[in-house]
Structure 1
Amino acid sequence: MATFRKRGNLQWEARIRKRGYPATCKTFDTKAEAEQWAKGVETEMSKGQFVSTKEAESYTLSECLDRYKEEYLPRLKDPRREISRANCLQSRAIAHRIMSTIRSKDIADYRRAREKEGISANTIRLDLALLSRLFNFAKSDWGMESLTNPVQLAAKPKLPPGRERRLESGEEEKLFEAIGDDFEFCAIIKFALETAMRRGEIVKLAWEDIDLRNKSVLLRDTKNGTCRTVPLSRKAIEVLQGLPRHISGRVFPGHLHPDTLSSKMGKACQLAGLANLHFHDLRHEATSRFFEHTDLDVMEIKAITGHKSLQMLARYTHLRSANLAARLDGAKRGEVRRF
């Protein structure tokens, strides 16, 4: 049964006590609003449809982000980026809002503010993805059943087309010249161009997973979460055979991190005068070379690169116009050479 009491001169509190449900209360500006709310809640309780909003109305987004970092993010393979993303979100004004008060308009306002700051569409998309997971987690695990996920209703930023940067004539030589006597980084670049492996897969590579006799490497820990076997070309094997053995058991130094490769690549490209070339572009280059220089079909290439779908692989299949012309003249795929 609902009871009502005046709080000060301007507010009314409605409190409902019903067997089988926790005490529920809420404050309103007028008694009429309090009575209307109480009537609706009692009806939901009678029908067994009532969901308490107490938890969702008790915590701010920032407080929930703290709990999310403590309970959920440690489960990830590499939580550092997501922790950094959560910390960034906590510095925004929206972080001080109570969870139950955040609406899709607030998410849209956050998106527009980030766009005005010049933040990339993909970064904003990842921010929104974290927020969406947080709301779902709070709803399913933290007793905030009354929450709706405002991110699902908000418009997402339009992503730009996928990168298509490739090594132009002479750029590979300039890159190696800029790297100089950094033997191991040169080896990593050569290995990436031969295998199309991701930077995270390369730095985690262990000698126990290398089978030189069968010319293959087993990748146990991939981005997609599934193992895959990558065949090794003659050049890839030559790279491996020229490497020293590390006590860590890693093929490449155990202290390397994927971000380290990106940083070293950026410095080398700047020194070589190569604009807009990232380490991940080597994967695109290697995959394109599979199509240009081998007789492998698309399914075989998909098995090597580990792309989840043919649609994802399609963006890597852009071939040089000169090679296409040679194919039109009857050249087989494996006979085509770059100019």
Structure 2
Amino acid sequence: MASYSIETRKLKSGELRFKVTVVVKKDSRIIHRESKTLKKKALAKSYGMRRVAELESEGVLNRPKSVPLAVLLDSFMAEPELWNRTGRTKRYVIKLLRDCDVAKVESNELKTSDLIQHCKNRKGAGAGGATIYHDIAYLRSVMKKAKPVFNIAANFQIFDEAVPVLTDMGLIGKSQKRTRRPTSEELKLLKEGLEKRESFRPNGKTRIPFTDILEFSILTCMRIGEVCSIRWEDLDQENKTVVVRDRKDPRKKTGNHMLVPLLGESFDIAFKQPKKSDRIFPYNPRSVSAGFQRVRNELGIEDLRYHDLRREGASRLFEKGYSIEEVAQVTGHRSLNVLWQVYTQLFPQRLHKKAL
């Protein structure tokens, strides 16, 4: 049988707090106890009545059990509907967490001190604040699904307390905004190097049109995964547009289809590709990125990523006078603020031309 009691406490400031304690007894023995402190007696009474009703209807024996975080992480990885919809970076982090000391902590007993120690361990191993932030964010995401999906009790609320503390201690932080854009000379060298790589096909490997893909990526501001997924059936020759399917959106994983204009020479680049597949560029995105990286490294070009080409394309559009709303139609950004802050890096010296 479940019941509750309310205890009134007075703080040093004179304010009152009301601690509601809920207990469940079986054969005169307490088999479950929980408590919560609230600012108002009416809230405490309401909470007590609700928890008594929930415990009597659900049964204490059926309540979620606490398990080591390693077990919860294993459960998440073994659930196809969750794991198959998890991105590559998050998968990597979850697998890493599985082998960390924090994975030994009980899911419902996780404390801020446990997270602080984990972050210190990761920092000591050389991880930066932005990298460690991913650990915390993805662990929280998994723990929030513990009860509804696996009936596992998990104290995910602890992150509300822990994140500000970890931030103040400098253990986690957001990544620095990248401003890197390739120079004209770097792009010239890259194109020359990629042309040489196109002509070299060991063991009969498929020829990847690296230079076409490089130029297309800049002109369309598409991610390399998007470039390699667009289809012939989605190409509109009359209006020079293409549908980009399942475009990245932090709020949705699938169904984000977007009609994108193919500006400049991008339509001609796409249209001249041989129609040997249902995709216009039927290549593995990783193979394209790997080829780019090898040529970049051979040329000694430092701190340039393939994704920086997306910023280069967006910045070019701004420099040509396109409005932020028009550029968003190309890049696919839902947040104009993010587009402006992250994906634009104008060359100040070019502003002199506008003053003439």
The one-character-per-residue Cα deviations of 1:248-286 (angstroms, maximum 9, x if unpaired) are: x111125x03x4333322212101211000000000000
Q: What is the identity percentage for the equivalent residue pairs of Structure 1 and Structure 2? A: 26
> Aligned equivalents of 2:175 and 2:48: distance in 1?
51
Q: Distance in 1 between matches of 2:153 and 2:118?
A: 24
RMSD: 3.1
Show CA shifts across 1:101-141 (max 9, x none): 21122112212221222223333222222211111111333
**What TM-score, normalized to structure 1?**
0.77
The C-alpha deviation readout for 1:132-173, integer Å capped at 9, x for no partner, is: 111111133333467343223223412233111001131001
Change in Cα spacing, 1:131 to 1:114, as seen in structure 2 (3 Å) is same
**Could you say which residue in structure 2 is the equivalent of 1:279?**
306
- 1:1-339 superposed matches below 5 A: 16-17=25-26, 25=31, 47-49=49-51, 57-71=65-79, 72-76=81-85, 79-144=87-152, 147-155=155-163, 156=167, 157-179=172-194, 180-182=196-198, 183-224=208-249, 225=252, 226-247=256-277, 249-254=278-283, 256-257=284-285, 259-293=286-320, 295-315=321-341, 316-327=343-354, 329-330=355-356
CA change 1:253–1:128 in 2 (3 A) is same
SS in 2 for 1:170: helix
Letter in 1 for 2:229: K
Does the CA contact (< 8 Å) of 1:205 and 1:251 recur in 2? Answer: yes
Find the counterpart in structure 2 of residue 5 from structure 1: none
Structure 2 gaps, min length 5 = 3-22, 37-44, 199-207
Gapped runs of 5+ residues in structure 1? 3-13, 27-36, 331-339
Q: Which amino acid aligns with 2:275?
A: R
Alignment check: 8 A CA contact 1:56 1:147 kept: no
- Indicate the SS of the match to 1:100: coil
Deviation per residue, 1:161-205 (Å, 9 max, x gap): 311100113100111122224251221111001110112211211
Paired AA for residue 242 in structure 1: K
1:63-120 deviation digits (Å, cap 9, x = unpaired):
11111112253351x5444333221111101111211221122112212221222223
Using the TM superposition, give the Cα deviation of residue 297 of structure 1 relative to its aligned residue in structure 2, in angstroms.
Answer: 1.1
Structure 1 residues 216, 48: closer, same or farther in 2, change over 3 A?
closer
| Separation in structure 2 between the aligned mates of residue 45 and residue 311 of structure 1, nearest angstrom | 41
Any runs of at least 4 consecutive aligned residues in structure 1 with deviations exceeding 6 A, and if so which?
43-46
Whether the aligned pair in 1 keeps the contact of 2:289 and 2:306 (CA below 8 Å) is: yes
Which moves more between the two structures, 151-160 or 98-107? 151-160
- Opposite residue 106 of structure 2, the aligned amino acid is I
2:271 partner amino acid: Q
| Bigger mean CA offset, 46-55 vs 194-203 | 46-55
Supply the AA of the counterpart residue of 2:175.
Answer: P
Q: Secondary structure at the match of 2:265?
A: helix
Task: Decide whether aligned partners of structure 1 residues 146 and 70 sit closer, same or farther in structure 2, where only a CA change above 3 A counts.
Answer: closer
Q: Which moved more, 1:65-74 or 1:194-203?
A: 65-74
Report the alpha carbon displacement of residue 325 of structure 1 after superposing the two structures with TM: 2.1
CA change 1:232–1:116 in 2 (3 A) is same
Range that drifts further, 92-101 or 279-288 = 92-101
Deviations 1:32-57 (A, max 9, x none): xxxxx6999xx999745256598665
Per-residue deviation, residues 11-45 of structure 1 (Å, max 9, x unmatched): xxx994279xxx9748xxxxxxxxxx6999xx999
Is the CA contact (8 Å cut-off) linking 1:57 and 1:98 kept in structure 2? no
SS in 2 for 1:154: helix
Q: Is the 8 A contact 1:287 1:301 kept in 2?
A: yes
Contact 1:201–1:219 under 8 Å retained in 2: yes
Taking the aligned partners of 1:244 and 1:39, their CA distance within structure 2 comes to 68
Q: TM-score, normalised by structure 2?
A: 0.74
The SS at the match of 1:246 is: coil
